[in-house]
Amino acid sequence: MKRILVILGMFTLLISCSTEKNNLQPFTINGNIEGAPDGMVYMQVYAPGYKAIVIDSAKIKDGVFEFTGKINKPKYYYLRINDKQRAVNFFVEPGSLTVEGSWDDLKNIKVTGSKTQDEFDAFYTELENRRKEMREQGVEEEELYEKRAEMIRKYVAEHPASVISAHLTYWNLVHEVDLAELKTIVSELDESLNSTFYLQQLKERIKTLEQTAVGQPALDFTMENTEGEPVSLSSFEGDYLFVDFWASWCMPCRRENPNVVKMYRKYHSEGFDILGVSFDSNRDNWLKAIEEDSLTWTHVSDLQGWQNAAGRLYDIRSIPSSLLIDPEGIIIAKNLRGEDLRNKLADIFEK
């Protein structure tokens, strides 16, 4: 099933946690966005959990603005104008960069002066053109998604020293590969990338995945249910527990819900339970979806969206995601959906 992911087409920004202070070189960003309202431009990056952090700001008047700073490696920045969600995203590197275009057509903003961005654009264009060709040939979406991942893998393998490869691994491949393959990919990236945010976070993700792998004890957490009462994962020990990470706005989650409902009704009396963990931020929408989809099991949420504490504990980067935990509290499967979930439960309860 296709999942809601933060994928290549969703431009995102990164914080550099590098301790390297040497080799910092100046950069200048000169912007001219025709038709943009006067006000402020905010330079943002995304921290783990997809939280946007403003790291600089500049005035914009008559569409013109400027940023200056120093940098040692290319980094991906997100420029937000005033309080609008419209954004311009690109790799910044030492030198003079220009950002030109129209407020009414931000998708086609032209960025010059960044060789890294040029390479990223070229790869992304190739990726999209190939997907368009396959779609015209009648290739199904699921296969298109797999082919896209294959192209990203190939690029990373052929460009181990490129910051773009680290970027693609962190924001894309991390969703597509298992722990063993992720460790291999990271180990094959060039040592020059070790100080970047990407590699630092990838190594942290590997640690989390090792701690939450099949065969490991489930990490406990406590969160409030729909009545505002605290519920701990550990309180379900003694049953097979399906921990379902979802949200009311996640259409793949909602499409899967009838299957999960069917499994709950079939096996609940035999020792199968479900704990729904919502990535919602709007309480009313969360409760409405529970009622509409007849989700009669226990639900919890801290209403922090992608910052959900349980999601961060398990490093959930896409939904729907799930864990299947045995009566002793050991993780025995991950991300079961559709027929895979039905087959696994049948193996457990219909022996």
The CATH number of residue 86's host domain is 2.60.40
**Residue 306, domain CATH:** 3.40.30.10
In a domain, 14, yes or no: no
Sign of CA dihedral 155, 161, 167, 172: positive
Q: Do 239 and 182 sit in the same domain of this protein? A: no
Q: Do 107 and 122 sit in the same domain of this protein? A: no
Q: Note down the domain range covering 271.
A: 222-349
State which of 91, 113, 135 marks the end of a domain.
113
The span from the CA of 315 to the CA of 335, in Å, is 13
Pairing label, strands 39-47, 222-224: unpaired
Pairing label, strands 240-246, 272-278: parallel
For residue 264, give the H/E element and its range.
helix 251-267
Q: Do 202 and 306 sit in the same domain of this protein? A: no
State which of 98, 113, 128 marks the end of a domain.
113
The span from the CA of 115 to the CA of 219, in Å, is 43
Q: Do 182 and 287 sit in the same domain of this protein? A: no
In a domain, 308, yes or no: yes
Total number of domains constituting the chain: 3
Single out the residue of 166, 200, 246, 197 nearest to residue 53, CA to CA.
197
Q: Do 226 and 333 sit in the same domain of this protein? A: yes
**Alpha carbon 160 to chain centroid, angstroms:** 22
User: Which whole-number Å values give the CA distances from 57 to 43, 241, 252, in the listed order?
Assistant: 6, 47, 37
User: Which whole-number Å values give the CA distances from 265 to 254, 269, 296, in the listed order?
Assistant: 17, 8, 9
The span from the CA of 33 to the CA of 106, in Å, is 9
Q: Do 139 and 108 sit in the same domain of this protein? A: no
In a domain, 6, yes or no: no
Q: Do 227 and 201 sit in the same domain of this protein? A: no
Q: What are phi and psi of 214, to 5 degrees?
A: -55, 130
Report yes or no: 44 and 54 within 8 Å, Cβ to Cβ.
yes
Q: Do 67 and 124 sit in the same domain of this protein? A: no
In a domain, 322, yes or no: yes
In a domain, 126, yes or no: yes
In a domain, 1, yes or no: no
Q: Do 243 and 332 sit in the same domain of this protein? A: yes
Q: Do 253 and 341 sit in the same domain of this protein? A: yes
Structure tokens at 19: 């301790």
In a domain, 12, yes or no: no
The span from the CA of 123 to the CA of 82, in Å, is 31
Q: Do 332 and 243 sit in the same domain of this protein? A: yes
Q: Is the pTM of this model over 0.75?
A: no
Report yes or no: 307 and 227 within 8 Å, Cβ to Cβ.
no
For residue 97, list its beta bridge partners: 29
Quick one: three-class SS letters along 294-310?
CCCCEEECCCCHHHCHH
Q: Greatest CA span in the chain, whole angstroms?
A: 72
In a domain, 18, yes or no: no
Single out the residue of 261, 246, 249, 259 nearest to residue 316, CA to CA.
246
Report yes or no: 60 and 101 within 8 Å, Cβ to Cβ.
no
Q: Do 294 and 322 sit in the same domain of this protein? A: yes
pLDDT at 50: 64
Angle between helices 251-267 and 338-349 (to 10 degrees): 20
State which of 58, 85, 113 marks the end of a domain.
113
Report yes or no: 219 and 212 within 8 Å, Cβ to Cβ.
yes
Report yes or no: 37 and 82 within 8 Å, Cβ to Cβ.
yes
- Residue matched to tokens 């959930």: 316
Report yes or no: 287 and 213 within 8 Å, Cβ to Cβ.
no
Q: What is the mean pLDDT of each run of 10 residues along the chain (351 residues)?
A: 37 39 86 94 80 90 96 90 81 96 91 95 92 86 82 94 94 84 94 89 90 95 97 95 98 96 97 98 98 98 95 90 97 94 95 72
